[in-house]
């Protein structure tokens, strides 16, 4: 884990083999229990494979079917930055490069034009790119190298997960999957079960 900044190493306890970079594994004892990846009961009409993002509660749900969903803790955009609506996964990226939007660079002038994919990239290990009507809407579901931000409202609008969680979600999600981003959604009490990791595709 030589690529992880020294001041951040206290957050990590190992690594998950991945190419071209290993994924640092987070010490989850530092996180609130409800933010852990887990299987939860699900009541809704959404088809299996649908992603539902609950901005207010800081959870992302991957609908499994059979009355279950996989729930992930997330970080969300600051007030005024968050997008809401229905989109689809237009493409998927592995250790993707990050290019801030013109709006972000206008607000934060010292941002670089591009950061190469890797541990230091704000998009982390994986990214799901959201599209509407065949057009990239510049909204992503992605990993993060700031695990302390999960459960918080800190980013510039996109949805962030732990790198190990976006790796898991990436493996479950198909290109073309529906993504619903909204404010409040009520679900049943979580089941005490951690799902097996999905293989990335």
Positions annotated as catalytic residues are: 142, 158
List of E strands, the chain: 12-16, 23-26, 38-41, 51-54, 59-65, 68-73, 76-77, 85-94, 126-132, 135-144, 153-155, 159-162, 178-182
Instruction: Show Cβ contacts of residue 183 under 8 Å, excluding neighbours closer than 6 positions.
Output: 54, 55, 56, 84
Q: What is the rounded distance in angstroms from the CA atom of residue 67 to the CA atom of residue 147?
A: 29
- DSSP strand pairing (135-144 vs 153-155): unpaired
Phi-psi region of 28 (alpha: psi -120 to 50; beta: other; left: phi over 0): alpha
The residue among 143, 148, 149, 191 whose CA lies nearest residue 165 is 143
Q: What is the DSSP letter of 98?
A: B
- Beta bridge mates, 140: 129
Quote the distance between the C-alpha of residue 83 and its chain's center.
Answer: 14
């Amino acid at each position: 884990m030589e690529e992880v900044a020294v001041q951040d190493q206290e957050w990590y306890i190992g690594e998950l083999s991945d190419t071209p970079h290993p994924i640092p594994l987070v010490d989850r004892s530092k996180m609130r229990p409800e933010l852990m990846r887990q299987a939860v009961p699900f009541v809704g009409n959404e088809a299996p494979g649908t992603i539902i993002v609950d901005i207010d509660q800081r959870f992302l749900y991957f609908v499994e079917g059979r009355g279950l969903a996989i729930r992930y803790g997330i970080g969300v955009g600051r007030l005024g930055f968050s997008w809401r609506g229905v989109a689809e996964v237009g493409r998927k990226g592995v250790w993707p490069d990050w290019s801030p939007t013109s709006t972000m660079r206008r607000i934060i002038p010292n941002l670089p034009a591009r950061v190469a994919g890797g541990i230091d990239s704000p998009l982390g290990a994986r990214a799901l790119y959201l599209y509407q009507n065949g057009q990239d809407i510049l909204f992503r579901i992605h990993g993060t190298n700031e695990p302390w931000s999960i459960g918080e409202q800190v980013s510039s609008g996109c949805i962030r997960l732990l790198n190990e969680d976006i790796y898991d979600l990436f493996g479950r999600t198909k290109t073309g999957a529906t993504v619903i981003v909204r404010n409040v959604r009520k679900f049943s009490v979580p089941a005490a079960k951690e799902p097996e990791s999905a293989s990335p595709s």
